[in-house]
Amino acid sequence: MGKRWIIIFLAVLNLTSCKKDINAFFIHESVRTRVLESHLLSPVFNTRFADSLSLKFAVFSDIHITEKNDHLFNKLKNDIDQQGIDFFIVAGDLTDNGLPEEYENCRTDFQNLEIPWYVTIGNHDLYQTDGWESWKNYFGPSCFSVGISGLLRLIFLDTSTGTVGKEQFSWLEKALKNSQEKYKIVVTHYPLYDDLVPSIWRLPSAEERYKLLWLLHKYNVYTYIGGHLHTFQHQTLNGLHHFIVGSMYPHDLDKGEHGYLLFSLTGGNLSWEQVVFP
């Protein structure tokens, strides 16, 4: 059996496990519906903090919270205190099976970290037919835009079902066009590229990937951040930083070590580093 078929077999085996609602893979809200509903929602979590020209924020993905609530947040909490992290971002797959109990655990865990957060949705978060309703109840919109300190523009996209879609492309271009901030950061679940060809770990549509890349370059986006593949990668695409941000999944990863991406805004200038847990 070739490598490609092994990957497909393992993916199907994973999708048919007992905790996942197999109907959710055929019956769920379209990206158009999710995007249009997101425009009518406000985040249900507190993201207010004092704007500053000097701040730090952590970005990670794929924590896959279960009913047992295994996680690595104790390690993250230590870094929050020691490094002075002001907020964190999660690029999808907050839950493992999209269950209400998992959503409840996840939001409680976030609140216990005692700093603001921003999140967007991943494919695992829709692994129940009512997964989108649970997401809205616990976290609000799946795509939105936030300005910070007059220097950062955070734009969150919904690629949880592997598609950007016409409505979201239109919204994204308007958000980028209207942004006056020095640093534009796009965060979503599916990356544009990875080091596996062919791959189920990136946006499947070549047309959408090319269109996204064109928009990111046109509006001088600083970085595009994805997750989905449980590892850390960094590429520079004609000046654009492209990250697969790394996973906080508490078990074995696809490759590499547990940790997160740490951004530091110092004196109005942005820098980044990979942080690996010991």
Domain boundaries, the chain: 3-276
**Predicted confidence band of residue 24 (pLDDT cuts 50, 70, 90):** low
Nearest to 65 by CA among 134, 1, 4: 134
Least confident of 22-36, 93-107, 153-167: 22-36
Residue 190 has pLDDT above 60, yes or no: yes
In CATH, the number for domain 3-276 is 3.60.21.10
Rounded average pLDDT over 63-77: 91
Query: Is 62:230 a contact under the CB 8 Å cutoff?
Result: yes
Residue 82, token pair as written in the block: 């020691």
Confidence of residue 177 (pLDDT cuts 50, 70, 90): very high
Cα angle, residue 59 at apex, residues 44 and 252 outer, rounded to 5°: 110
Q: How many Cβ atoms are within 10 Å of 89's Cβ, its own excluded?
A: 23
Residue 26 confidence (pLDDT) above 60: no
pLDDT tens-digit series, residues 95-106 = 999 999 999 999
Query: pLDDT per residue over 1-19, tens digit each?
Result: 444 433 444 444 454 455 7
Q: Phi and psi of 97, rounded to 5°?
A: -130, 5
219, pLDDT greater than 60: yes
For residue 62, pLDDT over 70 is answered with yes
